[in-house]
Amino acid sequence: LDRADLILHCVAVQGSYQYLEGLAGELRGFQGPFVSCSKGLHAVKTLPLYGATMVDVIHQATAGAVAKEQLCVLTGPSFARGMLQNDHTAVIAASEGGVAARTTRDCLVSDTFRVDVSDDVVGAAYGGAFKNVL
């Protein structure tokens, strides 16, 4: 992780807490954006984070090893099939203060993949969670 520009977290929401707990020690000292690509709200009733967004899950599961300013939510609408076929795709990267979101954009943007930046982390997290329900 020492040479990574960012980390993309693509683990399903329901398995993220346990997965991240095991990585907390390795994440200490990482300074780049930690980007959540996972969509949804935490629904494991036995954990205190029932109904939480991924931003809260990541921050708590890593015991603060990932600072809130490092957290970035990447959300669509986007479709994996379209991305694999090089269809034009636009997503939003949202982070508190926008620094992590701008770094994420700079790392991921391409001719067919546009990344817009926002500081509305809560809106991006809930938008990603509810887009498939609506």
For this structure, is 131 an active site residue?
Answer: yes
Q: Could you report how far apart the first and last alpha carbons of the chain are, in Å? A: 37
Of 39, 45, 68, 131, the catalytic one is 131
What is the distance between the alpha carbons of residues 65 and 22, in angstroms, rounded to a whole number? 12
What is the distance between the alpha carbons of residues 99 and 14, in angstroms, rounded to a whole number? 27
Q: Residues with catalytic annotation?
A: 131
